[in-house]
Amino acid sequence: MPDISFEGITYDCAADETVLDSLTRHGVLLPSGCRSGSCHACKVKAIKGKPPVASQAGLREPLKEQNYFLACMCKPDEALEIALADASDKYSATVIEKSWLNDTVVRIRLTRPEGFNYRAGQFINLLRTSDQLARSYSLASIEGDDFLEVHIKRVPEGRMSNWLCDELQQDQEISFFGPSGSCFYVQGKAEQPLLLAGTGTGLAPLYGIARDAIRAGHTGPIQLFHASHGAEGLYYSSELEQLAAAHAQLTCTACVLQGDIPEGALSGAVDAAVVNRLGDLAGYRVFLCGDAPVVELMQRSFFFAGASMQDIYADAFSFTPAG
Ligand SMILES: Cc1cc2nc3c(=O)[nH]c(=O)nc-3n(C[C@H](O)[C@H](O)[C@H](O)COP(=O)(O)OP(=O)(O)OC[C@H]3O[C@@H](n4cnc5c(N)ncnc54)[C@H](O)[C@@H]3O)c2cc1C
């Protein structure tokens, strides 16, 4: 059983146990979020020993070379001495506004810390410092905004989402890491048609990406679809209407799976509804965000409808099942 040394103390790591699980078992709190390698909140550095290759998947090359790895993905095969990742991507911000967008989604606006640069559509990891709980939230704001904006959906029994919805107060400070993610608009091919589709709070990054593309001078058609299980899950309808009214190339369409269908909205599964509406997707650049199973479904359907895999950018809001 390889040992893990952290801040001068050595801990045992059971066979098949990750570094994160071992430290948690010993009462050591590291920042952590998804526990599946996607949010990078538990990134640490090996000062001695070599982390397994699998624990470095998704990290940029310079970080790999410096022996950074993800504690949640690391089942060590040799003793490791580790340190917290240097805090150069950790920021502190103040809550400047909290407002409800529908019954379950709250918008939080934060001050934008000096030196924090990001691309619209990327996500940050908000940190509850009392227990180092971290969760990823996508940015709905764009570089030109003087605030950061996130949309939080309340998850039943959810530790972070309920804390953010109910306890985090205006004027309170909150820490975050980031930015992360590669689901954002890159300038070039200004005439290429764009397809943005998301479920629930998947609208947050898409709203940012649409505004960013327009600001960058994108001239091709931009089709944004906001999907929800029921009409009550939709939000930002008037903001989307206003944005579309101001920019002729943008079309925003809601899509509802069940129940009452608002005027102008599509009904049924979003992947089929989009393909029905747009037909051949060859040549589209596609951005997909929100519930992981729906994002995966859309990825497949849009690929089969002609979109190239290389032109599909996705952020699935994956989470760790309880238990
Ligand atoms: C890249 C990325 C971007 C994200 N962006 C956003 C965003 O912009 N807005 C947003 O609201 N969320 C976003 N999420 C999801 C977010 O990070 C959290 O997973 C979510 O808020 C739940 O955290 P929690 O601590 O409240 O729930 P937990 O305490 O982790 O979970 C409580 C219980 O609910 C279950 N659960 C957790 N999430 C869900 C879910 N979505 N559906 C059903 N059951 C669930 C868990 O399995 C567990 O049983 C994103 C996730 C990722 C990976």
Instruction: Give the CATH number for residue 68.
Output: 3.10.20.30
Of the three residues 35, 61, 85, the one that is the final residue of a domain is 85
Instruction: Give the CATH number for residue 116.
Output: 2.40.30.10
Number of the ligand 1 atom closest to the C-alpha atom of 320: 47
Find out whether the beta carbon of 159 lies less than 6 Å from any atom of ligand 1: yes
Task: Report the pLDDT value the prediction gives residue 86, as an integer from 0 to 100.
Answer: 67
Q: Going edge to edge, which strands form the sheet with 68-70?
A: 9-12, 3-6, 80-84, 43-48, 68-70
- Tell whether 12 and 79 lie within a shared domain: yes
- Tell whether 266 and 302 lie within a shared domain: yes
Task: Report the pLDDT value the prediction gives residue 318, as an integer from 0 to 100.
Answer: 82
Asked whether residue 42 is domain-assigned, the answer is: yes
Q: What is the pLDDT of residues 257-305, one digit of tens each?
A: 999 999 999 999 999 999 999 999 999 999 999 999 999 999 999 999 9
Gap from CA of 95 to ligand 1 centroid (Å): 20
Find out whether the beta carbon of 155 lies less than 6 Å from any atom of ligand 1: yes
Task: Report the pLDDT value the prediction gives residue 241, as an integer from 0 to 100.
Answer: 97
Gap from CA of 32 to ligand 1 centroid (Å): 13
Find out whether the beta carbon of 40 lies less than 6 Å from any atom of ligand 1: no
Asked whether residue 78 is domain-assigned, the answer is: yes
Alpha carbon nearest to ligand 1 atom 34, residue: 158
Gap from CA of 174 to ligand 1 centroid (Å): 18
Half-sphere exposure in the Cβ direction for 140 (13 Å, CA): 20
- 266, 223 Cβ separation under 8 angstroms: no
Structural domain of residue 135, as residue ranges? 89-180
- Tell whether 173 and 265 lie within a shared domain: no
| Model-wide pTM > 0.85 | yes
- 148, 122 Cβ separation under 8 angstroms: no
Q: Ligand 1 pocket check: which of 160, 317, 318, 320 to mutate, most ligand atoms within 8 Å of Cβ?
A: 317
Of the three residues 85, 104, 133, the one that is the final residue of a domain is 85
Find out whether the beta carbon of 125 lies less than 6 Å from any atom of ligand 1: no
- The domain total for the chain is 3
Task: Report the pLDDT value the prediction gives residue 65, as an integer from 0 to 100.
Answer: 87
- Tell whether 168 and 241 lie within a shared domain: no
Asked whether residue 189 is domain-assigned, the answer is: no
Task: Report the pLDDT value the prediction gives residue 164, as an integer from 0 to 100.
Answer: 98
H or E, element range at 92: strand 90-100
Mean pLDDT (10-residue bins), the chain, 323 residues: 90 94 90 84 91 92 88 94 80 97 98 95 93 92 96 96 97 92 92 98 98 97 98 97 97 97 96 98 98 96 97 88 59
Which CA distances in Å does 30 have to 48, 62, 207?
18, 22, 32
Task: Report the pLDDT value the prediction gives residue 87, as an integer from 0 to 100.
Answer: 65
- Tell whether 32 and 96 lie within a shared domain: no
Instruction: Give the CATH number for residue 296.
Output: 3.40.50.80
